[in-house]
Chain A
Amino acid sequence: DIQMTQSPSSLSASVGDRVTITCRASESIIKYLNWYQQKPGKGPKLLIYAASTLHSGVPSRFSGSGSGTEFTLTISSLQPEDFATYYCQQSYNSPQTFGRGTKVEIK
């Protein structure tokens, strides 16, 4: 199985901060990398697919980059509704695998 490693596992930030989350794959996944946002008690919501394409309706302050084994999710200016847990997921190989998540908390 392809292992997905996210860092950091948690971070504290203030409204307006720029936030960057990293996801590393144990082998090359080209650009088959997706990012999700999950809030407590809810199912995950797709933010970005194919490493850098914004899903419909997702605010433009979210962006993704990377290829191969290293990827980043950036929130350019953190908003109150962005405090949540973020997961990366690879769809290059079966089984699909997810990172362990990055919890973004209010400083």
Chain B
Amino acid sequence: QVQLQESGPGLVKPSQTLSLTCTVSNGSIASGDYCWSWIRQHPQKGLEWIGYSYYSGSAFYNPSLRSRVRISVDTSKNQFSLHLKSVTAADTAVYYCARFVDTTMVQTFDYWGQGTLVTVSS
């Protein structure tokens, strides 16, 4: 089955850019049926969808983060990335990458990475 694995710095300074990469294995990222997604979970709180991108580069973001976020896809490496700029302590969270199935009958996050904790602190 498809596996996803997040990687990137666990500590980011305030005002800097948080950058994470998700490596997809046992499946191709170049499929029109899927969106490659980022979701975060603040400590002891619920889940927040950040955004997702088709492999073509067409991306959709949560309006609450749209001005600061960009998701990119690298089909040659079977990876996709999250870039969140101008971070503050409020961006401290566990960040998950996930595959979103986008078909007429099915719209769901069917596979997730294990998550990576990113702390924003000087």
Task: Using CB atoms and an 8 Å cutoff, list the residues of chain A in contact with chain B.
Answer: 32, 34, 36, 41-46, 49-50, 53, 55, 87, 89, 91, 94-101
Contacts and interface: CB of A to CB of B under 8 A. Distances in A.
Given A34-B108, A55-B110, A89-B47, A43 B60 contact: no
The winner among B105, B108, B113 for most chain A CB atoms within 10 A is B108
A97 B110 contact: no
Interface of B: 45-49, 60, 62-64, 96, 98, 101, 105-115
Contacts of B96: 43-44
**Looking at chain B's contact residues, is the secondary structure mostly helix, strand, loop, or mixed?**
strand
Nearest to B108: A49
Given A44-B112, A45-B112, A55-B110, A50 B46 contact: no
A91 B113 contact: no
B44 to A, nearest CB: 10
Nearest to B47: A98
A43 B112 contact: yes
Contact of A42 (B47, B101, B106, B114): B114
B63 A43 contact: no
9 contacts: A36-B109, A44-B109, A46-B109, A87-B47, A89-B108, A91-B108, A95-B64, A96-B49, A98-B47
A49 B49 CA distance: 17
Given A34-B109, A98-B49, 11 more contacts: A43-B96, A43-B114, A43-B115, A46-B112, A50-B105, A55-B110, A87-B47, A95-B62, A98-B47, A99-B46, A101-B46
Contacts of A42: 114-115
Nearest to B46: A100
Contacts of B46: 87, 98-101
Contacts of B112: 43-46
Contacts of B45: 100
